[in-house]
């Protein structure tokens, strides 16, 4: 039985190496945003093509407003990206679970939430 507002099958990561993520057979060469409705979009930042090294309050707010109850953040293959204190505070204030891990771990965590039919979203940094 599908939960209202959650697609019957959320996208699944197949692999992630520095600079490349594969989701459901498609290769992405940029930071990934997966919305709770299953849409996959590039992470856009004003700084660079491959994404900023800081996940911002605005990025988290967008996912919360889209209905996320869990947000999985991948901080890069070596964990160089960080979540801003404002973003962490917002998630806490709104009662949204924030899971912050290196990207190789985060894609597995995201996949495990996706099969549970939770309203999960992801922000995955694919480099450093």
Position 52 scores a pLDDT of: 74
pLDDT band for position 8 (50/70/90)?
Answer: low
> Is the model's pTM score more than 0.85?
yes
Would the CA dihedral through 112, 24, 126, 89 be positive or negative? Answer: negative
pLDDT per residue as tens digits for the range 52-96: 789 999 999 999 999 999 999 999 999 999 999 999 999 999 999
Q: How many CB atoms lie within 10 A of CB 29?
A: 12
Query: What burial class does residue 107 get, using C-beta atoms within 10 Å of its C-beta: 0-12 exposed, 13-18 middle, 19+ buried?
Result: buried
The token pair that represents 5 in the structure block: 């507002």
User: What radius of gyration do the chain's Cα atoms show?
Assistant: 13
Mean pLDDT, the chain, as a whole number? 90
pLDDT above 60 for 49: no
In this prediction, residue 45 carries a pLDDT of 58
């Amino acid at each position: 039985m599908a939960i209202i507002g959650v697609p019957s099958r959320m996208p699944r990561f197949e692999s992630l190496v520095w600079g490349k993520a594969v989701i459901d057979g498609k290769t992405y060469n940029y930071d990934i945003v997966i919305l709770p409705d299953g849409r996959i979009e590039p992470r856009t930042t004003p700084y660079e093509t491959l994404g900023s090294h800081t996940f911002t309050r605005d990025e988290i707010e967008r996912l919360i407003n889209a209905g996320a109850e869990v947000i999985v953040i991948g901080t890069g293959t070596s964990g160089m990206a960080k979540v801003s204190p404002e973003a962490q505070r917002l998630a806490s204030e709104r009662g949204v679970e924030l899971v912050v891990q290196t990207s190789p771990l985060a894609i597995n965590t995201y996949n495990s939430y996706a099969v549970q039919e939770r309203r999960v979203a992801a922000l995955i940094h694919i480099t450093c």
